[in-house]
Amino acid sequence: MSAAAARARPRIALLATGGTIAGAAASSTAGGYQAGVVGAGALLAAVPELAAVADVRPEQLFAIDSKNMTDARMLQLARRAAELLAQDDVDGLVVTHGTDTMEESAYLLHLLLKSGKPVVFTGAMRPGTAISADGPANLYQAVGVAASPAAAGQGVLVVMNGSIWSARDVAKQDAAALQTFGSVYGPLGWVVEGRPRFYRAVSRPHTLQSVFSLEGLGELPPVGIVSTYAGIGPAAYEALAAAGARGIVHAAFGGGTVPDELLPTLRRLRAQGVHIVRASRTGAGPLLRDANADDTAEGWLVADDQSPLKARLLLALGLARTADAAALQAMFDGY
Ligand code: ASP
């Protein structure tokens, strides 16, 4: 490569956090493996083709299985991402992350980062030691997207298996398949020959248009989720409140219903100041305010179309700004 060509390559920061993309097994056919044991430099070295795409600068932030992601670590990731994106010599950011909690970290950064530069999360479903490991191709595609001006201003993206998803509505939907990520709204586009082809954009605010930011944000207020099942009782709600939760996402049956047996407990918790958000455990479809529950009378919130996982983070960010139920509902309606 000529010196001029090398200078013209986009400069992409690669923030590695672990996950299966950094996983290794005892053999190429083993089912079990250890996530997060391969360093950022080695991930990069496995894809020499990247040298023609971008000047990629690796940095190891965590080396964890993303089952061990926490609110504190997500905020640490957001803060480091913000620092890198603020640098003049960084044109875009790729975050390698375990797929298990990728949609949560990506969504938090989607709401918090104040940058229009491309930010792309990627990972893998098979460790690098596996036959037909998917990590190298995913990393190649993620860098290709992060290096493209077309990805600027699109919010935080997840690129896996040739698809480009918005952090707003992407969800891990399969425990084993390479095409594990999906969204009820479909992908934003595809990666074709290493470059993004976008067909749509999300209309809800993010990054530069979001009211949320890292400035002045300390810890995230504790918010939990309780998933419903036939015959559920109040114990999990009471336990979360006793542990200090300031909000509880009720991952309700389809249309957001609340079993009669829970009503006294949820009313009591709300009277104590705990916010209750109705979301749907189906992961799709909007919930209507004051339909299937008397939200206005109860002082509860509805999550619109957001999954319980995303509703938890949105409520936490909201609670960091206000405890006013109407203002919190406006956030669910807007984001
Ligand atoms: N347990 C892994 C993780 O989330 C799974 C993966 O990366 O696919 O870190």
Query: Does the pLDDT at position 30 exceed 70?
Result: yes
Q: How far is the CA of 127 from the centre of ligand 1 (A)?
A: 9
Delineate the domains of the chain, giving CATH numbers in brackets.
3-209 (3.40.50.1170), 223-334 (3.40.50.40)
Give 102 Cα–ligand 1 centroid separation in angstroms: 9
* Banded pLDDT at 173 (limits 50, 70, 90): very high
DSSP string, 32-45: --BTT-S-HHHHHH
The pLDDT value recorded for residue 7 is: 66
Does 99 qualify as catalytic in the annotation? no
Q: Give the tens place of pLDDT for each residue, 271-310.
A: 999 999 999 999 999 999 999 999 999 999 999 999 999 9
Judge whether 145 and 56 are in contact, CB under 8 Å.
no
Tokens for 206?
A: 């993010």
Please report, for residues 109, 242, 268, the alpha-carbon distance to residue 222 in angstroms, rounded to integers and kept in the order given: 18, 12, 18
Tokens of 240: 């979360």
User: pTM value?
Assistant: 0.97
User: Is pLDDT at 3 greater than 80 in this prediction?
Assistant: no
Distance CA 16, CA 36 (A): 9
Q: What is the pLDDT of residue 8?
A: 87
Q: Which atom of ligand 1 is nearest to the CA of 100?
A: 4
Q: Is the CB of 125 under 6 A from ligand 1?
A: yes
How far is 233 from 259, CA to CA, in rounded Å? Answer: 9
Report how far ligand 1's centroid is from the alpha carbon of 171 (Å). 14
Q: Which of 211, 237, 214 is nearest to 224 (CA)?
A: 237
Please tell me the distance from the alpha carbon of residue 65 to that of residue 296, in angstroms, as a whole number. Answer: 41
Please check the confidence at residue 169 and state whether its pLDDT lies above 70. yes
Q: Is the CB of 128 under 6 A from ligand 1?
A: no
Pocket lining: 180 vs ligand 1, CB cutoff 6 Å: no
Ligand 1 atom closest to 23 (CA)? 7
Answer yes or no: is pLDDT of 4 > 90: no
**Closest by alpha carbon to 106, among 169, 188, 180?**
169
Mean pLDDT of 131-140: 97
Q: Whose CA is nearest to atom 3 of ligand 1?
A: 98
Each residue's pLDDT tens digit, 70-128? 999 999 999 999 999 999 999 999 999 999 999 999 999 999 999 999 999 999 999 99
20 pocket-lining for ligand 1 (C-beta < 6 Å): yes
16 lines ligand 1 (CB under 6 A): no
CA–CA distance, 41 with 45 (Å, rounded to integer)? 6
pLDDT single digits (tens) 226-262? 999 999 999 999 999 999 999 999 999 999 999 999 9
Contact 112, 176 (CB under 8 A): no
pLDDT digits (tens, 9 = 90+) for 306-324: 999 999 999 999 999 999 9
pLDDT bin (cut points 50, 70, 90) of residue 6 is low
Q: From the CA of 102, give the closest atom in ligand 1.
A: 4
pLDDT exceeds cutoff 80 at 5: no
State the closest ligand 1 atom to the C-alpha of 65, by its place in the atom list counted from 1: 9
Dist CA 155 CA 208 (whole Å): 9
Q: How far is CA 243 from the centre of its chain?
A: 25
pLDDT at 31: 87
